[in-house]
A and B are shown apart, each in its own frame.
Chain A
Amino acid sequence: MRIGIVCPYLWDIPGGVQAHVRDLAETLIGLGHQVSVLAPGEEDSPSLPGYVVAAGRTVPIPYNGSVARLQFGLVSATRVRRWLRQGDFDVVHVHEPAPPSLSLLTVLLADVPLVATFHAASTRSRFLTMFDSAVQAVLERLSGRIAVSPSARKMIVEHLGGDAVVIPNGVSVAAYAGAEPLPGYPRDPALGGTIGFIGRYDESRKGMAVLLGAMTELVASRPGVRLLVAGRGQQQDFLDKLPESLAGSVVMLGMVSERDKASLLRSVDVYVAPNTGGESFGIILLEALAARTPIVASDLPAFRRVLDPTDRPSTEDGSGAARPRAGWQQVRAGLIFHNKDSSALAEALERVLADRPLREQLAAAGAEVVRPYDWQLVAAQIVRVYEIAIAATVRI
């Protein structure tokens, strides 16, 4: 199949959508399809892989909490047209077609079967409500819609009308399972254990404050416990504000590459996701599962859905699950602690760090849970959607 994929965000800035598009494109190429990705960016950028076509310069504008790339105008339109003509695609797959973006522009210009993937679960995207009828005129050109999570699907049903097929994010399971640990890791468990955290630690909804609270409790009984932190943030600021008792226990790794992220996950005894809210999918949990690292996570529907697939809430948004009112609870592939409760988190961490058979049991269950999310299988589901979208489209 000749497949065109449109990524609305700059290729060289790390982000969930970019990673999704890259992995999807590479998996599809591996399956023998012809794939071309159109993304904003300078044409002569040397860092672009061979399958990416640059769509030219963009104007950054803040959109929905992050920075979208405004891409309208004759130059961009010409490049999109040229890409469509040269690619002669059987299907074009746009990601996050919120206005104003390269994805939306492609939807307007393409006369081929169109599939769109919606990543955001945010219900606050103002554009969608502001230009309701105009957005409708564009989105009605899509033959098929994919949502990456039940909550993203809920956003579509409630705010755009219509429906979507849920296909989750994928994980390159083998890459995580086979990653080399960081030099010097994994440490001897007798030293007190190693805990991992990845994310923007100075953003409050990522829950670092909850984790630090738990660490201060934990360090009293386990003086050698160590926390590895990777991600974007004001490092010096963060270290200055650190409680004195944790001075030697926190190791900052800064921003890490995809490969180092896998290595970090392979280096720690337990991965913590203390997020207080706003997570739609929890891809990092899948990555930790793929790395066979036990997980302690806060009680969010998205996390619960990943860690406990047998616990099936009756509602599609996952809000029907029973919550621990306090403390923590062991589920199939991890421990879930009461949201924002540092003491509960400390107890759950102590439990995992003290119990090697439990860690092994969680790692084995995790490998089972993550299997359906392997990119090979996820890409096969997406190809199935392409085939039906092609059958459900008339070429005009």
Chain B
Amino acid sequence: MLSAGWLIAAVCVAVLLTLWITLTLTRLDRLHARVDAAQSALDAQLVRRAAALLQLAERSDPRLPVERIIDLTSTARAALALRQWQDPERQAVENQVGRAIAGLQADRARLPADAVTELVESATRVMIARRFFNDAVHDTRTLRARRMPRLLHLAGHRELPSFFDIDDTSTFADSPPPDQHPGPPA
């Protein structure tokens, strides 16, 4: 009798463990897919922002000094040239784009209005897309860091996703930065 009881208990444990592993594997699959999708969304917004900067620079002649236009153009082109997400330069280059945009704040009134609107819109979208991407990375890393998934190696050989850290707080807008007073860009 005792051994039958143990057998039933063992079967129950095995069933529960299998269920739990299946559930965790499904979660990990979903999370990695979410990271990939969020990454391509962020990638697209970064490209849009760099393109908006390039467009603005090209149309600002002669409202800005020539050397500044050359500067802005090369910054935007450098970002557009990096097509690989994994490129080690990516975050530094995107930070330069962000700083170039913030540096335009003082000249805002002199610049073509529709190009400014597009630049503000794309910078805001980068901020949102980056937050959503980092959320996905955070959720994935949290689950992978738990003891059981780690010990059982449930994530397989998939690379651990890393956060995308750029400074996008200094948005180019006449309203205050979105996190304190989320006013829409005018």
- The contact size tier of chain B is 35 or more
CA distance A228 to B158 in the complex (A): 64
Q: Let me know if B179 is at the binding interface, CB within 8 A.
A: yes
Contact residues in B for A142 (Cβ distance below 8 Å): 135
> Are B179 and A166 touching (Cβ within 8 A)?
yes
> Are B31 and A140 touching (Cβ within 8 A)?
yes
> Are B139 and A136 touching (Cβ within 8 A)?
yes
> Are B134 and A305 touching (Cβ within 8 A)?
no
CA distance A141 to B26 in the complex (A): 12
> Are A392 and B132 touching (Cβ within 8 A)?
yes
Nearest chain B residue, comparing its CB with the CB of A142:
B135
* Number of A interface residues in the complex (CB < 8 A): 41
> Are A381 and B184 touching (Cβ within 8 A)?
yes
> Are B181 and A396 touching (Cβ within 8 A)?
no
Q: Let me know if B84 is at the binding interface, CB within 8 A.
A: no
CA distance A144 to B132 in the complex (A): 6
> Are B179 and A150 touching (Cβ within 8 A)?
yes
Contact of B138 among A137, A161, A168, A389 (CB under 8 A): A161
Report A263-313 residues with CB < 8 Å from chain B CB. 305, 309-310, 312-313
Nearest chain A residue, comparing its CB with the CB of B45:
A388
A-B contact count (CB 8 A): 106
Contact residues in B for A305 (Cβ distance below 8 Å): 180-181
Contact residues in A for B178 (Cβ distance below 8 Å): 165-166
> Are A140 and B139 touching (Cβ within 8 A)?
yes
Q: Let me know if A191 is at the binding interface, CB within 8 A.
A: no
> Are A168 and B143 touching (Cβ within 8 A)?
no
Q: Let me know if B112 is at the binding interface, CB within 8 A.
A: no
Contact residues in B for A140 (Cβ distance below 8 Å): 27, 30-31, 34, 139-140, 142-143
Report A311-354 residues with CB < 8 Å from chain B CB. 312-313, 316, 318
Stretch of B1-9, B66-74, B122-130 contacting A (4+ beta carbons < 8 Å)? B122-130
Binding site for B on A (CB under 8 A): 133, 136-137, 139-145, 150, 153, 161-168, 305, 309-310, 312-313, 316, 318, 372, 377-378, 380-381, 384-385, 388-389, 391-394, 396
- Give me 15 A-to-B residue pairs in the complex whose CB atoms sit less than 8 angstroms apart, sorted by A's number: A133-B146, A140-B139, A144-B135, A162-B134, A162-B138, A165-B128, A305-B180, A372-B175, A372-B184, A377-B183, A377-B184, A381-B182, A392-B34, A392-B37, A393-B34
Q: A372-B184, A381-B184 are in contact. List 16 more A-B contacts (CB 8 A).
A: A137-B27, A140-B31, A140-B34, A140-B142, A143-B38, A164-B131, A305-B180, A312-B180, A372-B181, A381-B182, A384-B124, A388-B125, A388-B132, A393-B37, A394-B33, A396-B33
